[in-house]
Structure 1
Amino acid sequence: MILGMVGPWQILLILILGVFGLILPLIALIDILRNDFKGNNDKIIWVLVVLFFNIIGSILYFAMGRKQRV
């Protein structure tokens, strides 16, 4: 059995990473959609980055994209 080899710490780690992987992009998308950006296509580009590169795209948005807001 594969589940017999998974301990409680591994399950906790999987749950934390799963929640982190769902909530961070959701927060980033809400922030992108609620704000205006300097360029015409910046909002579309950031939405696509966050959708295609979930966690990494969200981190990139919070590191670089928030500076481009109006």
Structure 2
Amino acid sequence: MDNSFSYSLFFWQALVFSIAALWMYCLVDILKSKFERNDKVFWFLGVLAVPLFGSILYLTRGKKTKIQSK
């Protein structure tokens, strides 16, 4: 019986999937939200260009700059 399950491969696949899910969440959130001036373009291009760092930066700083709906 060949037990060819690789924990390291599973770890890397889970990491890539998580980063991709975070990236998609941030892009969708940016597109659905309203921002002042050209902030929407800035955040969209930043997250698109640098997926992991841009997503983390958007979640920590960018969500605070959204226009809150009443």
Equivalence map 1:1-70=2 (5 Å) = 8-38=6-36, 40-70=37-67
Specify the SS of the correspondent of 1:29: helix
Structure 1 residues not aligned, in runs of 5+? 1-6
- 1:4 aligns with none
Larger helix fraction of residues: 1
The size of the alignment, in residue pairs, is 63
| TM value normalised by structure 1 | 0.84
Percent identity between the two aligned chains: 33
